[in-house]
């Protein structure tokens, strides 16, 4: 099973994290796609989708993730059998809306029948860790969860 990393960004952090995650999996079939151009119609059941998405505005999606979310919500395909991972990015100084951008996608994917695998990854821009370091520290747990779920990616 191949892995497609779908990133949604406003100012480039999520794109950088997506690239670093891909680089950390050289032995796997991984591609990186921008949610501003990737169409929900392209989703395939035989692929594992790894979302990397920041938060903007007031707990909203970054502009780069909006086209994907809006189209997915418009066409609402049945995603039973689809599995995905989630790495959300935000800043805890926004205490009421911390990391909620990615949660819009998570909620919709779940509503449509897809199943999240592994722990929900997070990066807090107010922490001492860089977003890439947080994502790379989280990745082994995700890969272990894939293996435990029998997903050969
Ligand atoms: C104008 C603005 C609004 C933001 N709003 C939120 C927010 O509501 N909640 C949150 O957790 N983070 C918020 N953030 C923090 C970003 O999600 C964080 O800096 C992230 O790393 C940006 O990633 P990106 O460059 O991929 O968009 C905001 C950042 C900016 C600049």
ipTM for the predicted complex: 0.99
Q: What is the pLDDT of residues 52-81, one digit of tens each?
A: 999 999 999 999 999 999 999 999 999 999
Q: What is the pLDDT of residues 100-143, one digit of tens each?
A: 999 999 999 999 999 999 999 999 999 999 999 999 999 999 99
- Lining ligand 1 with CB less than 6 A are 9-14, 54-59, 62, 89-91, 94, 97-99, 125, 131
Helices (H), 10-114: 13-23, 66-75, 100-111
Kindly state which CATH superfamily the domain 2-148 is placed in.
Flavodoxin domain (3.40.50.360)
Q: What is the 3-state secondary structure (H, E, C) of the chain?
A: CEEEEEEECCCCHHHHHHHHHHHCCCCCCEEEEECCCCCHHHCCCCEEEEEEECCECCCECCCCCHHHHHHHHHHCCCCCCCEEEEEEEECCCCCCCCCHHHHHHHHHHHHCCCEECCCCEEEECCCCCCHHHHHHHHHHHHHHHHHHCCCCC
Query: Taking the domains of the chain in order of start, what are their residue ranges?
Result: 2-148
**Which residue of 32, 63, 64, 89 sits with most ligand 1 atoms within 8 Å of its CB, as the best mutation to test the pocket?**
89
Query: From the CA of 56, how far away is ligand 1's center (Å)?
Result: 5
């Amino acid at each position: 099973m191949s892995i497609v990393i779908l990133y949604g960004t406003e100012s480039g952090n999520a794109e950088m994290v997506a690239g670093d995650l891909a680089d950390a999996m050289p032995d796997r079939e991984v591609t990186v796609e921008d949610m501003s151009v990737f169409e929900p119609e392209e989703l395939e059941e035989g692929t594992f989708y790894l979302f990397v998405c920041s938060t903007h505005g007031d707990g909203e999606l970054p502009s780069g993730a909006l086209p994907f979310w809006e189209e997915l919500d418009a066409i609402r395909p049945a995603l039973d059998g689809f599995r995905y991972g989630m790495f959300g990015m935000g800043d805890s100084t926004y205490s009421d809306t911390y990391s909620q951008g990615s949660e819009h996608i998570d909620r919709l994917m779940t509503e449509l029948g897809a199943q999240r695998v592994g722990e929900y990854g997070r990066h807090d821009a107010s922490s001492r860790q860089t977003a890439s370091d947080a994502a790379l520290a989280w990745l082994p747990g995700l890969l272990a969860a894939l293996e435990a779920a029998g997903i050969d990616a």
